[in-house]
């Protein structure tokens, strides 16, 4: 194979060392020597290297930058998206139903029925209602009466108009239990009284283990022998 220097046009047959012209000593680019298969393999390697370089450049170009994620614009967009999602969820959620506010006379009637039930349980244990000397305090504190198994309520409350509930013992009958109402005066049309049925607590709450002095024991009936 013959070679020609592009600078001085010197023609030489042997491949020079160090890729320099023997005449002018300029650096020259010598063509590759090899078989057609070797030259094809070399071109494939060059193409593969070019493809790998392009891929690396693409990855570097689209690689996320951590500094951009902390920019105010990105943070504002993230907060805006969260706000929109929250509004949509709140619209789809069922509205919370607020319980209607209890009126004062409804509160008084509810508390009166609670006191009547407690008095019924007191009567279940003791056999009678508390005397006037003890009053409703017997539902909270032990008055020293035999059979007492309280307390039957946690504390004594006044009515919604800041007046204590009135109690009067009645012989062989239900006691008088009432609230003086908004005017705070006894025996007026606005007085409130409990449901008489509330004085009978039944026996379901005892679970069969609460003893009462006036309850009779069961009588066992024996079957006649055959």
Report, as an integer, the average pLDDT of 9-23.
78
Q: In terms of domains, do 5 and 54 share one? A: no
Q: What is the pLDDT of residues 136-170, one digit of tens each?
A: 999 999 999 999 988 999 999 999 999 999 999 99
Q: In terms of domains, do 139 and 46 share one? A: no
Q: In terms of domains, do 52 and 24 share one? A: no
Q: In terms of domains, do 22 and 46 share one? A: no
Report, as an integer, the average pLDDT of 27-36.
70
DSSP E strands in the chain: the ranges are 3-4, 11-12, 166-168, 176-178
Q: In terms of domains, do 142 and 193 share one? A: yes
Measuring CA to CA, which residue among 134, 110, 111 is closest to residue 122?
A: 134
In a domain, 217, yes or no: no
CB 212 within 8 A of CB 121: no
In a domain, 161, yes or no: yes
Q: In terms of domains, do 12 and 58 share one? A: no
Q: In terms of domains, do 3 and 47 share one? A: no
Examine residue 147 and say whether the peptide bond preceding it is cis (omega within 30 degrees of 0). no
In a domain, 95, yes or no: no
Q: Kindly state the percentage of the chain with pLDDT values over 70.
A: 78
The pLDDT score that the predictor gives to residue 214 is: 45
In a domain, 78, yes or no: no
In a domain, 144, yes or no: yes
- CATH number of the domain that residue 159 is part of: 3.30.700.10
In a domain, 97, yes or no: no
Domain count along the chain? 3
The pLDDT score that the predictor gives to residue 167 is: 95
Domain range spanning residue 11?
A: 1-31
Q: In terms of domains, do 113 and 174 share one? A: yes
Burial 44-78 (b: 16+ CB within 10 A, else e): eeeeeeeeeeeeeeeeeeeeeeeeeeeeeeeeeee
In a domain, 8, yes or no: yes
Q: In terms of domains, do 201 and 125 share one? A: yes
| pTM listed for this prediction | 0.50
Q: For residue 122, is pLDDT > 70?
A: yes
Q: What is the pLDDT of residues 182-219, one digit of tens each?
A: 998 888 888 999 999 888 876 565 555 444 444 434 33
Q: In terms of domains, do 156 and 194 share one? A: yes
In a domain, 91, yes or no: no
Report, as an integer, the average pLDDT of 50-62.
84
Residue 122 — φ and ψ, nearest 5°? -60, -45
Q: In terms of domains, do 17 and 42 share one? A: no
Q: In terms of domains, do 17 and 40 share one? A: no
């Amino acid at each position: 194979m013959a070679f020609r220097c592009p600078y001085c046009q010197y023609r030489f047959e042997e491949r020079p060392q160090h890729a320099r012209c023997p005449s002018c000593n300029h650096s020259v680019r010598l063509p590759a020597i090899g078989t057609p298969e070797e030259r094809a393999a070399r071109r494939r390697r060059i193409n593969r290297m070019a493809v790998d370089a392009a891929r690396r450049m693409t990855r570097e170009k689209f690689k996320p930058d951590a500094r951009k994620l902390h920019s105010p614009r990105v943070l504002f967009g993230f907060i805006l998206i969260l706000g929109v999602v929250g509004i949509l969820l709140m619209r789809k959620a069922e509205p919370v139903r607020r319980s209607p506010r209890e009126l004062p006379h409804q509160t008084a009637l509810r508390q009166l029925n609670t006191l009547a039930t407690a008095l019924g349980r007191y009567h279940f244990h003791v056999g009678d209602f508390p005397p006037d000397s003890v009053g409703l305090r017997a539902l909270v504190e032990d008055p020293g009466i035999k059979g007492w198994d309280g307390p039957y309520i946690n504390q004594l409350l006044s009515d919604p108009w800041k007046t204590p509930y009135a109690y009067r013992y009645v012989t062989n009958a239900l006691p008088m239990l009432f609230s003086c109402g908004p005017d705070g005066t006894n025996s007026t049309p606005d007085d409130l009284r409990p449901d008489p049925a509330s004085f009978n607590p039944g026996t379901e709450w005892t679970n069969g283990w609460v003893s009462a002095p006036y309850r009779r024991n069961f009588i066992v009936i024996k079957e006649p022998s055959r």
